[in-house]
Amino acid sequence: MSDIIRTEGLGKYFGEMAAVHEVTVGLKEGLFTSIIGPNGAGKTTLINLLSGYLLPDRGRIFFRGTEITRMRPDKRVKIGISRSFQVMNIFPRLTVFENILLPVLSRLNKNSRPLASVRSQKEAVAEAEKTLQEVWLQEERDSPAGTLSHGDQRLLELGIAVASNPQLCFLDEPSSGMNPIERVKVLELVKKLSAERKTTFAIVEHDMDVVFSLSDWIVVMNRGEILAEGKPDEIRDNKEVRDIYLGEEI
């Protein structure tokens, strides 16, 4: 199985502090990967570097063998990498449908047409409708996204991330800030998307039940470096990993 994305000696520093240091890791295509680690371990920074939101100070990133180290985030989306955000990032004044439609239009390279009506973009509209149903939001189709409940906004956030039909999708703490009922729903959706789409998912997650039930592969970070990686069982038995979680049941 090949690496869909890999890094070599990736480093990002804020003054004296190393957010990410000497990270060499590869995510295998088709495997559901979870990135775990204590707070401040560098997980979100790594996602930011891989998705282009931040540029690294050192090291390189390769997507399917092509170097993308300094590629802009919008270009990375065009080559098949997408992400969701830990802090909700939707289009609040657009309707739920429009939130999904925009990434679809972008993927089909139709978002720049200045005089055609949105309605006339039949292919994009159909695909957006499908994705809308996929994330269980067809009822809220015409509501402004900002008026949705917190839980539904999360579903929308996931919908936007997969609407560009990515090959690789990073989900940064998809269930953060949710009450238990909402969490279950969101994680169900993640499971469903992972099963039904040809996308490789990589998530940052704190809930160990979720991590161990969903993942094919786990990467453990600590203090900006990769501590360990492997199959869930290997990680569960790894002494160093258990140490950093200080006896938590993992």
Q: Which is nearer to other proteins, 160 or 228 (CB)?
A: 160
Q: Is 153 in the site for other proteins (CB under 8 A)?
A: no
Among 31, 94, 178, 184, binds other proteins (CB under 8 A): 94
| Eight-state DSSP code of residue 145 | G
From the list 3-11, 109-117, 182-190, 224-232, the region that binds other proteins by CB under 8 A is 109-117
Q: Beta-strand (E) ranges in 65-120?
A: 66-67, 81-84
Site string for other proteins, 174-213 (x = CB under 8 A): ----------------------------------------
Among 31, 54, 118, 178, binds other proteins (CB under 8 A): 118
Q: Is 154 in the site for other proteins (CB under 8 A)?
A: no
Give 158's contacts (C-beta < 8 A, 6+ positions apart).
84, 135, 171, 174, 186, 189, 190, 193
Q: Is 148 in the site for other proteins (CB under 8 A)?
A: no
Tell which residue, 44, 35, 12, 9, has the closest CA to residue 23. 9
The whole-angstrom separation of Cα 100 and Cα 33 is 25
The whole-angstrom separation of Cα 37 and Cα 198 is 27
Binding to other proteins (CB under 8 A) within 122-141 occurs at 124
Among 107, 151, 194, 210, binds other proteins (CB under 8 A): 107
**102 to 136, 169, 207: CA distances (angstroms):** 18, 17, 32
Binding to other proteins (CB under 8 A) within 27-56 occurs at 51, 53
For 77, how many CA atoms within 13 A lie in the half-sphere containing its CB?
Answer: 19
| Eight-state DSSP code of residue 139 | G
Q: Is 66 in the site for other proteins (CB under 8 A)?
A: no
The whole-angstrom separation of Cα 164 and Cα 106 is 7
Q: Is 105 in the site for other proteins (CB under 8 A)?
A: yes
For 70, how many CA atoms within 13 A lie in the half-sphere containing its CB?
Answer: 2
Q: Which is nearer to other proteins, 25 or 102 (CB)?
A: 102
Q: Is 71 in the site for other proteins (CB under 8 A)?
A: no
Residues of the shown chain interacting with other proteins in the complex, contacts defined by CB under 8 A: 51, 53, 72-75, 77-78, 82-83, 85, 89-94, 98, 101-103, 105-107, 110-118, 121, 124, 160, 163-164
